[in-house]
């Protein structure tokens, strides 16, 4: 085993499981994230995202879970592995210098001043940019003399964002990074992250519920649902493969005949459904007849294209035929996690 060899992945999960007491929280998670990309980590409350982040950063340790069989047929127990550039955070001190985790709630001493928090961060991260940190403090209007306990919720978040950006850690994880910030401050963070990422590429994971606001930054999307990784796809490919089909019931059913229907929703004038499996830009260029032909062809090539319901305004009236629309990531995420799809 070449334990010291640099991995081709910034983060790799190998059969990661975790229990709290007798309750299993994470189930056999496997994931490989190449470096120098921005990933969206999405999941509902209680899905296991924060537990996973805590495991990655060695805040908690993996519990053992049966995995595989020995030669005599007995179950072998393994905790799995969460590897950062090929190493576990708790076994290699230098690995921690390559990782910066900005949590939803940062636990700092109440008496600690902002300037002291930044000095501590500067001592932890080899790539720390002091001038950039000062620039960010000015933009977020954060007083360096203030004590942590006197910061508003938004200013707590701003302090975390400054540390996460100025650290320029090779793997940076933001867990609900913009809580308490107003819309202008959130947009500034998104723009600043995009610009600094272009100048200083690194691996960034953003766990957030404000999906549509920040989705323009994502290159890949990872969905965690009920303790399992249910999807890992490039965002562009995912969104280009999704289209809303809406219209009179008979017409929608005719065009989706033979496809696996996951859900449908009644709307004024008919039903609506969502198809996964179209190619790039097809949802914008295909006529209803062309769309039907392309779907039928794809259905014959595979074991069926996943279908999901989509929301349509209750008062919307359909003209004869069908309408095709793209679907925002946040809506797609809701439908992927609400009813056990992809299970």
Which runs of E-coded beta strand occur in 177-259?
Answer: 203-207, 220-225, 228-234, 242-247
Please say if the pLDDT value at position 315 is more than 80: no
Please indicate whether residue 221 or residue 60 has the higher confidence score (pLDDT). 221
pLDDT value, residue 307:
30
CA torsion through residues 243, 248, 249, 250, sign: negative
> Residue 156: enclosing H or E segment and its boundaries?
helix 153-167
Asked whether the predicted pLDDT for residue 85 surpasses 60, the reply is: yes
Q: Does residue 88 register a pLDDT over 60?
A: yes
pLDDT band at 258 (very low <50, low <70, confident <90, very high): low
Selection from 17-31, 94-108, 118-132, 226-240 with the highest mean pLDDT: 118-132
φ, ψ at 102 (rounded to 5°): -105, 110
Q: What is the pTM of this model?
A: 0.80
Q: For residue 275, which of 324, 338, 203, 234 has the smallest C-alpha distance?
A: 324
Tens-digit pLDDT profile for residues 177-220 = 989 999 999 999 999 999 999 999 999 999 999 999 999 999 99
Structural Rg of the chain based on CA atoms: 23
Selected residue with higher pLDDT from 88 and 147: 147
Mean pLDDT of 155-181: 96
When pLDDT is averaged across residues 38-50 and rounded to a whole number, the result is 95
From the number of C-beta atoms within 10 Å of its C-beta (0-12, 13-18, 19+), residue 132 rates as: middle
Residue 66 has pLDDT above 70, yes or no: no
Spans of all domains in the chain: 34-57+93-233, 241-338
Checking if the pLDDT of 40 tops 60, the result is yes
Q: Per-residue pLDDT for 227 more than 90?
A: yes
Whole-number pLDDT of residue 255: 67
Q: How confident is the model at residue 86 (pLDDT cuts 50, 70, 90)?
A: very high
Q: What is the pLDDT of residue 295?
A: 43
**pLDDT for the residue numbered 244:** 74
Q: Could you read off the pLDDT of 3-34 as tens digits, one per residue? A: 445 679 999 999 999 988 889 999 999 999 99
The yes-or-no verdict on residue 328 having pLDDT over 50 is: yes
Residues 268-296 have pLDDT tens digits of 778 887 665 544 444 444 444 554 454 44
Q: Quick check: helix, strand or coil at residue 54?
A: helix
Instruction: Tell me the average pLDDT of the chain.
Output: 79
Higher-pLDDT residue of 335 and 281 is 335
For residues 90-102, average pLDDT: 87
- 6 or 160: which carries more pLDDT confidence? 160
- pLDDT, residue 224, reads 96
Topology, domain 34-57+93-233: Rossmann fold (3.40.50)
């Amino acid at each position: 085993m070449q334990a010291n060899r640099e991995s081709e992945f910034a983060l790799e999960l190998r059969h990661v499981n975790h229990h709290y007491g007798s309750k299993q929280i994470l189930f056999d998670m496997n994931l490989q994230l190449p470096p120098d990309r921005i990933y969206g980590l999405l999941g509902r409350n209680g899905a296991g995202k924060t537990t996973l982040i805590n495991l990655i950063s060695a805040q908690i340790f993996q519990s053992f879970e049966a995995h595989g069989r020995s030669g005599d047929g007995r179950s072998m127990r393994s905790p799995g592995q969460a590897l950062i550039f090929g190493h576990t955070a708790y076994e290699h001190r230098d690995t921690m210098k390559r990782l910066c985790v900005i949590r939803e709630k940062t636990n700092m001493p109440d008496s600690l001043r902002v300037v002291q928090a930044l000095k501590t961060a500067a001592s932890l991260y080899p790539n720390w940019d002091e001038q950039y940190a000062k620039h960010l403090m000015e933009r977020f209007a954060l007083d360096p003399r203030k004590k942590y306990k006197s910061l508003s919720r938004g200013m707590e978040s701003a302090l975390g964002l400054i540390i996460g950006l100025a650290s320029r850690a090779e793997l940076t994880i933001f867990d609900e990074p913009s809580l308490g910030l107003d819309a202008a401050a959130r947009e500034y963070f998104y723009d600043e992250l995009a610009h600094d990422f272009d100048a200083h590429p690194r691996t960034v994971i953003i766990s957030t519920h404000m999906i549509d606001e920040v989705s323009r930054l994502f290159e890949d999307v990872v969905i965690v649902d009920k303790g399992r990784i249910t999807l890992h796809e490039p965002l562009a490919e995912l969104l280009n493969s999704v289209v809303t089909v809406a219209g009179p019931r008979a017409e929608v059913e005719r065009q989706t005949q033979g496809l696996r229907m996951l859900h449908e929703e009644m709307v004024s004038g008919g039903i609506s459904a969502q198809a996964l499996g179209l190619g790039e830009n097809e949802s914008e260029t295909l006529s209803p007849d062309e769309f039907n032909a392309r779907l039928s062809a794809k259905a014959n090539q595979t074991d069926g294209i996943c279908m999901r319901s989509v929301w349509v305004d209750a008062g919307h009236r359909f003209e004869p035929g069908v309408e095709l629309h793209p679907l925002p990531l946040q809506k797609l995420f809701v439908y992927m996690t609400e009813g056990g799809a992809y299970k």
